[in-house]
Structure 1
Amino acid sequence: MFKNLIIYRIAATWVADFGALEAALAKSPFAECGPTQERSAGWGPPRGEEHGALAENIGGQWIFRFMTEAKMMPASVLNRRVNEKAAHIEATEGRKPGKKEKKDLKDEAKLDLLPMAFTKQGAMWVWLDPKARILVLDTGSQARADEVVSALVEGLTGFALALLDTQTSAQAAMAHWLTTQEPPAGFSIDRECELKAADDSKAVVRYGRHPLDIAEVRQHIEHGKLPTRLALTWDGRVSFVLTEGLQLRKVAMLDAVMVGQSQGDGGFDADVAITTGELSKLIPNLTEALGGEGRTGLDQKLPASLET
């Protein structure tokens, strides 16, 4: 649960109402693609139960799930069907289809093939903390995140949000940490990093499973390469890769998180409680390490409940 994080700050003007959220999600439930439907998207039950609730409130943390399904249609298969249709016209009418007609033939071919196409489903966890006023999406794709954000903004009255911003950019901070080998309090630098040149060469250097406290890394930074990814561990409890765009990738709960957890506490509710419990501490700690929140345009400071 939550392997990649894109984090948003929710405007203070939005009135948090779980019932209103449930009603909004119910207007756009996920349904599998119809025979001639190329793509479908909507909200699915977080617990995976058929006809289950579309949102769960677990310890004050709201969890829901955005689902998609798309028909898989290889371009080679589609082009072959278009060529077959074009060849039929040429053979029966003695002419070659023009550019506009070729486009129409492509649309016809797609409708012919859609009922036979394989489907691929995807799902994204969504976590809303109404008290801390943050929204977290489990994706590394900004395009996918934008689709979910648009759906929520359209469905929830007064809902406004902006990507989490910090006073110090993630890239500048990562460069400083690598150069000084002094990560912020509570964090440690792990063994994965990517450095990219800012000039036209776009040269990239990647380190994997490699110590980063070496002169070579500092030299790359001194020569103009800047970190775009850096593996970190927070408090010995959560490991992740921080990106230049302030996304968290490869998020993993470490063994220390499970210490003291009862053997019989597994299941959806426990996973949510553990994950949100750790991340609700990590996010403000990381924000503080990056100089505190910047201006999001929402005119809202980090709530006292999340200050460290």
Structure 2
Amino acid sequence: MFKNVIMYRIGAGWSATVADIETSLDSARFVECGASQEKSIGWTEPRGEAHGPLVESVAGQFILKLKIETRALPGSVITKKANERVAHIETTTGRKPGKKEIREIKDDIKLELMPLAFSKESSVWVWIDPEALLLVIDAGSQARADEVVTMLVKCLSGLAVALIDTKVSPTAAMSEWLITQEPPAGFTVDRECELKAADESKAVVRYTRHPLDTDEVREYVESGKLPTRLALTWDSRVSFMLTEGLQIKKLAFLDVVFDGASTGKDDGFDADTAIATGELRKMLPDVLAALGGEVVKA
């Protein structure tokens, strides 16, 4: 379910029932792109059941799913067609179209070809922990997370969120762990990281499937190459990549997490959700603690 984690703190005082959220999201339910539409974004059923609920509550945790469809035309195709049309105008009228007319020609061609464009669909999982006032977005980039937040704030009355920040930056903490070769309590450093020079060279060193408790790695960090990504495992249960921007990527639940878990098809969604949120509710506070704790914003 979750492969990435971007964390937000929900403003104090916000609360909503499942029924409240369902009603609010229904007005922004996902609808496929129209023939001439470039992009469509809206909420869809987390369980994948047509016309089903747009919010699911599992063990007190709320799960939503945002769907995005985009249609794209290669710029080279539009330019080629526009050049052909401009050449035709010049040949038949002896007049050379100006910049404004050429832009209009390109816009017309785009509208004509859009129904033939291939569409691309993607979706983003959203988890709200109403008790901890925590919002987690399974987005691979901050830009996509911002898009989700915009939709949430637009749909859910009174919702205000802020990116979680820590007293120690991930870069500073990861540097310390690599130099001292002492990860924080409850964590182990795995065999993947990225180091980037802070000077104008922007030199990058990447390690994959390579031990990081070596003099070479320590010397790189001490010489000014800062860690931007570091692979970690928490409590021998969850592995992930911590980034300089406090994003968690490549999230993977290890086999021990699933010991004794039901694999029945009927409760697959509930089981996956309960496992993922149950583990993350314990792991994420430990991640924040390892970074000096959360900065409390006024």
Q: Which residue of 1 aligns with 2:30?
A: 30
Q: Which residue of 2 aligns with 1:3?
A: 3
Q: Deviations over 1:195-216 (max 9, x none)?
A: 0011111111000000000011
Separation in 1, partners of 2:260, 2:20:
36
Secondary structure, in 3 states, of the residue corresponding to 2:283? helix
| Aligned residue runs from structure 1 range 85-104, under 5 A | 85-104=85-104
Matched, 1:114 2:114: yes
Q: Post-superposition shift, 1:73?
A: 1.1
Query: After TM superposition, which residue ranges in structure 1, 4 or more long, deviate above 6 angstroms?
Result: none
2:261–2:271: 8 Å Cα contact kept in structure 1? no
Q: Which residue of 1 aligns with 2:237?
A: 237
Q: Which residue of 2 aligns with 1:134?
A: 134
Query: Which residue identity does 2:155 align to in structure 1?
Result: G
Secondary structure, in 3 states, of the residue corresponding to 1:139? coil
Q: Which residue of 1 aligns with 2:222?
A: 222
Q: Which residue of 1 aligns with 2:283?
A: 282
Q: Which residue of 2 aligns with 1:268?
A: 269
Q: Deviations over 1:19-77 (max 9, x none)?
A: 22111211101111000001110001011111111110111110010001111311221
Secondary structure, in 3 states, of the residue corresponding to 2:262? coil
Separation in 1, partners of 2:48, 2:256:
28
Q: Deviations over 1:153-210 (max 9, x none)?
A: 1222211111111111111000000111111111000000000011111111000000
Separation in 1, partners of 2:164, 2:209:
29
Q: Which residue of 2 aligns with 1:302?
A: none
Q: Which residue of 1 aligns with 2:80?
A: 80
Q: Deviations over 1:249-301 (max 9, x none)?
A: 00000011011223437511111011111111110011111111113x3x4xx
Separation in 2, partners of 1:290, 1:256:
26
Q: Compute the TM-score of the two structures, normalised by the length of structure 1.
A: 0.94
Separation in 1, partners of 2:46, 2:261:
23
Q: Post-superposition shift, 1:13?
A: 2.3
Q: Which residue of 1 aligns with 2:206?
A: 206
Question: Is there any run of 5+ residues in structure 2 with no aligned partner, and where?
Answer: none
Separation in 2, partners of 1:285, 1:238:
12
Q: Which residue of 2 aligns with 1:306?
A: none
Q: Which residue of 2 aligns with 1:173?
A: 173
The CA RMSD over aligned residues, in Å, is 1.1
Separation in 2, partners of 1:80, 1:48:
41
Q: Which residue of 2 aligns with 1:164?
A: 164
Q: Compute the TM-score of the two structures, normalised by the length of structure 2.
A: 0.97
Separation in 2, partners of 1:100, 1:262:
63
Secondary structure, in 3 states, of the residue corresponding to 1:121? strand
Q: Which residue of 1 aligns with 2:60?
A: 60
Q: Which residue of 2 aligns with 1:70?
A: 70
Query: Which residue identity does 1:235 align to in structure 2?
Result: D
